[in-house]
Amino acid sequence: MIFVHINNSGLSLHSLVPRISQTIERTLNMKYMNTMALLAAGTCAMIAASAAQAGIVYWDMGTASPTSNNVGNLTVGDLTQGNNNGVTVMITQTASSSGYTFDLNGTSTSASGTFIAGAAARTGALVTGESGSAYFQFTLTADAGYSGSLTALGFGTRSTGTAPVSFTLRSSADGYASDLATATSLSNNNWYYKTAPLTTAASLTAATPVTFRLYGYGGSGSPNTNSANWRIDDLTLTATTTAVPAPGAIALLGVAGLVGSRRRR
């Protein structure tokens, strides 16, 4: 409530009206700015609460589907094989993984063993086209209202004498034209675990599937058709999703900046 004291100073009621009007306007403006600042602060808090969610997608190869996925708002497709040299069953118990450990959600974990994914790989340099280098493939899709990124992968790998010794992760975003991550291994029938941070995080746009392929190449000799010579296990993906602010939230953030500017003046 606003009180105006009128004394005997000679001021008339007519002369006081503009002053009363200015006082009321300043009071209402201050209340408005404080209210908008509180609304904007609340919006910022909600956006921060739904900020980046980082986690791990993991396959122990018991099935083609991920064994676990603790990345919120991320849909992950089944693992498949491609450019196979003949016909082989992908999930088998032949040459089960052993002899390595890897980090799984902050815990040192031994090779899962039992089931593995296998492919019959051709020899020679990398060829991404049809009947080229063998690959294992999966698809990631950020949910509607979210963006995301893939930042690293890890995998156990075993190559026979004719199998791949070089590996590259590529994506459908550029038609599998450029390396996102690379690794090398030995073709001596032993298991090794490879970790490969992405040189540049692979971006995921809301509700837009992106397919990733882990290619194996660089083998030599004469591999047998219909015979798996490259095997992987314990595939892990490090990924992040982030809520995309709604237009209304962005508008309120703009108001916050305006209010802050006006209050500083």
Q: What is the mean pLDDT of the chain?
A: 85
Place of tokens 């991550």: 181
Quick one: DSSP state of residue 52?
Answer: -
What's the whole-number mean pLDDT along residues 52-70? 96
Residue 111 has pLDDT above 80, yes or no: yes
Residue 254 has pLDDT above 90, yes or no: no
The partner residues of 220 in beta bridges, in order of sequence, read none
265 vs 58, more confident: 58
The model's confidence at residue 38, banded by pLDDT at 50, 70 and 90, is very low
pTM of the entire predicted model: 0.78
140 vs 17, more confident: 140
What is the residue extent of each domain of the chain?
A: 13-49, 53-243
- Identify the CATH number of the domain defined by range 53-243: 2.60.120
Question: What is the distance between the alpha carbons of residues 86 and 92, in angstroms, rounded to a whole number?
Answer: 16
Percentage of the chain beyond pLDDT 70 is: 74
Please compute, for residue 76, the number of CA atoms within 13 A of its CA located in the half-sphere on the CB side.
25
Query: Which tokens sit at 44?
Result: 């910022």
The model's confidence at residue 184, banded by pLDDT at 50, 70 and 90, is very high
Question: What is the distance between the alpha carbons of residues 4 and 21, in angstroms, rounded to a whole number?
Answer: 11
126 closest CA partner among 89, 79, 170, 161: 170
108 vs 10, more confident: 108
Ranking 28-32, 76-80, 142-146, 244-248 by mean pLDDT, the lowest is 28-32
